Structures are given as structure tokens and as C-alpha cells.
Structure 1
């Protein structure tokens, strides 16, 4: 029942809500904590809390390790001269092995967003 009530990361809705159009209602049932069901409930709640804390710790650890290898992209401004890697650019050379690895320099014409730039295709 917990999985069908959990919010999906991409849809932002639970599977139960997707099917029935509402979230399930859980009526509070008073269970004595001295009964076996009450003891099991307390044990499962504490276990759920431990698992949640471990998952959050793992997420922080994965982020720290992935950020360690991540670099800040260069900030190009209009008028800057740049070299382009010819890795994904088709040339007229008969062999990729004999092509230049870098093309340019090209002038940056316009910055589009934070990651894309528009280049003049006439090298200087």
C-alpha cells in the first residue's frame, strides 16, 4: 500500500491517484503498543526512518563524488575567439585520421542561454 501511495518522481502523483483520482484515506486505528501488532508497527516505523536516513546519506555521497569530477563550463562572451573540436563535424578530408583535431579560431557572435553559443563559421 505504501508504494501505491508514494509520489512518483516524474509524474508528481502517486499511482493510486493516477488510477482513482484521489489519494487513499488511512483511518487511524488505535492499536495498543503492548500488542504484537503495535510492537511490529513501532519496529517498522523505526526501520523506515533508518532506511530513509541511509538513502539521504547515499544521495549526498553520490552527489559529492559526481561533483568532484565535474568542471565549470567556460563563460564565452560575444567577440571571444574559440577553437572547435572537429570530433562531430563532417569535413571533406578522405580520412578522419588526417583531419585537424581543432577548427578555428571562430568568433563568438551571441550567447544563447548558459550553455550554448552561436559562432561565426568564418575562421579568422
Structure 2
């Protein structure tokens, strides 16, 4: 069981069933803020790969995509990972999906099965050690590349006025192109260095990533005049 699961705010992840299951299993839910797919980039990218596969093979009326899912899963799991240089299937099972030629052994059947078990365990241990080393190196390279041009997140305080990007929301006004691109809100709570809670109204979830907020310094200076 994983210690925590990072996910978006889809209805399945917010259901009472899933909340209780995670609580009973001792798993911590880590939900992303709205309209910030970077938080859970891995699954989002994999979903794009699955969609691309199904788009290439699905029928014109798109009524057979469910039958293609097992083949898509097998194809994607047997594909070599750019980070680990081995496929997810090999990392889990210790062998490839390709047909394996088995040579006849002179050992008795009982000893032959024991030898296969010993060989499989040894191979899985080697794969596990290799995976840990390669993933640690890959994560370090990705971290260095991501931090090369990354700027520190702006710090907000309760009471700050911010401009919230409305690119992901639609107002009741008839034309979005002529609507305001940002709306002014007040920070009511600072959840973390990257998440703030705003005094939005209606059914909009009030917590937002700081990337969607901006203009605090200018607004604060105007407010002091």
C-alpha cells in the first residue's frame, strides 16, 4: 500500500467510498488544486498516451474502445521507459512479454521448479536494485532541469488582494472574449506556500495554486494610498 496518493479533484477521488477506503488503509489523500495539472503530471501524461493509442485503433463509431484497453495496457507496459531504460512490465515481473525459449533441463521436475523460483527471485532483486539506482539518478536530473529556470513562488498573506485568472471559468456573460480575464479577490487563508484560499462565491472551489494569482504588490500599494 502506498503511504499517499496524489490525484486531481475528480468525483471518484472525492467520493465517500474512496475517503473511507483511504482512511481504513492508512493512505493519505493529496488532492491537487483546481486547474493545475502540473501537480499530477505523470497520470495526466499517461492518459494522453492511452488516448493516442485508442484514437489510432478505435472504430469510426468509437464503440469498441473498451475491448482495446487490455491491448493498450500491454503495449504501454511493455514499452521501454525513458527514465529507467526498461519496461514497467519487466520491472514488475523480471522478464519481457516476448516469447521465451525454454531449454530442456536434466534436473528432476521438483528441483527444476525450485531452480526457476530461485532464478526468478534473484532476477527480481537485481531489477529492483537497478530500478532504485536509475530512478534516483533520473529524478535528480529532472529536478536540476526543472529548477534551472524556476522562480520562488510569491508569498501571500491573509488580507492580500490578488488578481485571479479566470481563463478556466466561464461567467454568465454572453461573450467570453469580451469578459474580464482576471477578477480581484481577497486571500482569506494561506494553506501552504503554493496554495491560498480566496473569498470566491458560488460553487467554485475556493483554494487555488499561487500560479493562478498575481498582482498582489501593485494592489497593496494602491490600497495604502
| TM-score class normalised by the smaller sequence | 0.3 to 0.5
**Scaled by the length of structure 2, what TM-score is found?**
0.29
More helix by share: 2
**Scaled by the length of structure 1, what TM-score is found?**
0.47
